[in-house]
Copies of this chain bind each other. A is one copy, B any other.
């Protein structure tokens, strides 16, 4: 088999694997795509799209004011890439895209600022990626929250969002790590338990679920883990761009 052909086949397997990750592993993840196929993109005119989370979402955004949709205020990560793609693809919708991720945040940090940084923005699409600091800070001795605390706190946050934002589409993004950098065996099995919580909550509450861990597991078979996330936690540009593709496939917009 030629190098060229092998590369093509590997590539096809990769694409199929990531597609499977987006549709097969979690029943919840199908909701978005099915809805989009049935109804067209679920975006009313002037919808607000909000990205919430920790440093992965924050991605170095400029927090000193700036209007939504502004490049600097969206950081250099998947919210910037997704914001750009949605603004370019749906100009007639006049979307407003916010990034409100803050580095270092855990579930209780989101809860403390949820009114002003989520509910008050009245998002039509609310995408949340939270969980890696809930374990990372615990491993570092700066936090004592358990897996059960993560589940309880995250469920409360999602239930509150469902109640306060009727009609909003809530997207639960799976926390993920790559096996490199700061990530070692001490993270497991607890990290996997926390990932399972995020999926369970999405299924329980019938929310969209973006399986980032399966996506990165497949990607790490094509390029070394650090290609996707140098320290195992914070994605590179390549990692953020891959997240962007998978998010769009799952959410269907």
Contact = CB atoms under 8 A, between A and B. Distances in A.
Given A236-B71, A237-B69, A80 B91 contact: no
Contact of A80 (B11, B72, B237, B244): B237
28 contacts: A7-B92, A10-B92, A11-B92, A59-B71, A60-B71, A60-B72, A69-B236, A70-B237, A71-B76, A71-B236, A76-B80, A83-B237, A84-B237, A84-B238, A84-B240, A84-B244, A85-B241, A87-B236, A87-B237, A88-B239, A88-B241, A88-B244, A88-B245, A91-B219, A91-B222, A91-B238, A92-B223, A94-B223
Size class of the contact patch on chain A:
35 or more
Interface string A1-37: 0001001101100100000000000000000000000
Contact of A242 (B60, B88, B223, B238): B88
Interface of A: 4, 7-8, 10-11, 14, 40, 59-60, 69-72, 74, 76-77, 80-81, 83-85, 87-88, 91-92, 94, 219, 222-223, 227-228, 236-242, 244-245
A129 to B, nearest CB: 17
Contact of A92 (B83, B222, B228, B245): B222
Nearest to A73: B237
Nearest to A245: B88
A91 B11 CA distance: 9
Nearest to A222: B91
B10 A74 contact: no
B84 A241 contact: yes
Contacts of A7: 92
A85 B87 CA distance: 17
Contacts of A10: 92
Nearest to A74: B237
Nearest to A227: B91
